A and B are shown apart, each in its own frame.
Chain A
Amino acid sequence: MNIKYLQYIAICIGLTVVVFSCSSGDDDTGGQTPPEFDRAAMLANYADNLILPAYSDLQVEVDQMAADATAFESEPTAANLETLQNALKSVRLSWQDANFYQFGPAETVTLRASLNTYPTDTDKIESNIENGGYTLGSIDNIAAGGLPALDYLIHGAEVTTEQIIAAFTTDPGASERMTYLVDNVAFVKSRVDDVVNSWDPAGDDYRGTFLSEGNGGTGVGSSISLLVNAMILHYERFMRDGKIGIPAGVRSAGVPRPTATEAFYGGYSAELAVANITGYKRLVIGGSGSGLDDYLEFMESDELSNDIQDGLDQSINDAGQLTDPLSENIENDNDGVIAVFTSLQEVLVLIKVDMTSVLGITITFQDNDGD
């Protein structure tokens, strides 16, 4: 008997064993409905019913804001200013649903850092207006552009409506200030348009990449890994810390920093925080479609799934107790703000530790520029 013959037999037997062990796996559950979770359908739900609509809503609001900015530029009246202020708020509220997806196109154009780096650098803004020659979106201007910069420009620090309008019309450097406002709106619009086009099936079709079979696993770089890592990074650094923890002083050796709230000048930071946590819960449950909660339930972790949803409801409720302007809430009753931080912290553990472990998703995110 030569070696070749032996090898042939060995391979045959080996394959038989493999097939047998696989089919015995079949037999054990043969009578029952096969357990199945359609991860591809879940990802499609995320793409089509959460991500794409969130971006397109954001785009609609940004377009409206751009139109309102143009109107304010040609007619800088109190009414037009108020319209623009409301438009900015609408953009910032719709951003709360679009800010979770910092991977793929959003990562390419550094969408989050471009749109929402705060606290905004007012000195840098003033020097840009005075000196001109700025490039919005460059690294040294990251804190001098985007929505928080607009917040500063059109609300101002403790000034009257008349003073704001004067700054854009009659004060020295008024026209440069108006240019900076318009440039900034255009900058925000261009970044949002880029991301929308990149996801668009008729454009760069990142949606197709996101839903492709090759990215259907759970390993590093798979679509679900990108999504879950992005949402956890957002939760930790930008929702829990950025909106609540940092202003409350949790990260600054216990010294509160009320000016580090998200909409410090407009004074609706608490409202944005509630919107963000509400959006987060929608993200976890996949809106009305198949979501991470269903995936957890498939993995026999119903209790965990419920606790995460209840915890987020609790956080929404706790954040709802905050009053705007949040900066004043921090100065007057920081304990209440820290209570929201603690409540968010408890859910984070369930999402970052328990959920990813049950779903077999590796936490891989690298350090990122923050807002």
Chain B
Amino acid sequence: MEQYIIDLLTTGAIVLFGTIGLALFGIFFGLLYKGVDRKLSAHMQGRIGPPIRQPFRDVSKLFVKENIIPENAIPWIFNLAPLAGLIATISILLYIPIGGFEPLLSSKGDLILILYLLIIPSLAMVTGGFSSGSPYATVGAQREMVTMIAYEFPLAIIIIAIAWKLSINLQNTNVFALSTITATPIWNFVGPLGFLGCLVLLFVLVVVTPAELSKIPFDSPEAETELAGGLLAEYSGRNLAMFYLTDGVKTVVMASIIVALFFPFNIWRMIGLDALPAISLEAIPIYTAEIIFFLIKVLLVILFSLTLIRVSVARLKIDQIVYTYWVPLTLLALVGLICIMWDGWTMEGHIINIFGFKIQWSAWPSMFKLLGIP
């Protein structure tokens, strides 16, 4: 029983301090990355752009502004929606590996839970939009719902493909646990065909990310030029600030998920250590390097999946968004899945009969071994 009480207290402490710490981390770095994104995109378009600290100023300015509730709105839903979005987004941070370390609640929730939690911020925006009582916001909310339906399908294929591949190679292990996925990078288990499949899935995930975050070219739910902000048209003051913070934190969440699924490499593994050393004064440089390495990876993911895409492509119409996700991207994701599936067969040493020629592909080693990476 003593052990149980100790476990209970440990979980309680992790939940309490983890939530506080990661909420502050997510909000700070969410706003910081937002600033970097704006600065980089401005330079790409030949502008000077706002200073990197501009998002912090935006939030502080919004806090001073009036928090207007339209007369047509349903006040309690209108006020609750921004809170619900930010709360759900913060809760995801506890289930994903932040700073290159194991998730704080790695044994309390898996990748499927994260997929469900990712829906809540979008649903909060939809609810807030519908409760605004504005035609612009209602159209925006309708578009957000349709966008959600569109990108969930290819996203699910990506998750299934990775989990399936890991389940072939790791027996009796929960392959949906992010601690498993990060401890055993998928690149270690794939041959050339699987490597190609993983690249295709990574590309699809990179294209899904702007839609998850309602960014150009998939920002038709907000569409400032035609819908005057869409589902956020009636929001102002501290309620709008909450959505602004949600956007920042969700950016960190999405980038961290991509890092966890496809780039879970650690400094301590690269320098040849068997495990992350216990917390001590000597281990501080490794921990610091690990966190900096993680932040750089997140920045690079944001650069390629958000900044580069939004400065180079125009906004798509809502029916074009659905077509993009349901036809080319779903087909691409299925091609990636098939590549990984066939690679799984080849890596297992199955004999494949092609036009009468029986070929055993078991000689194909992992792509990493082919490239000479240990």
Tell whether A and B belong to one assembly.
no
Interface residues in chain B, defined as those with a beta carbon under 8 Å from any beta carbon in chain A: none
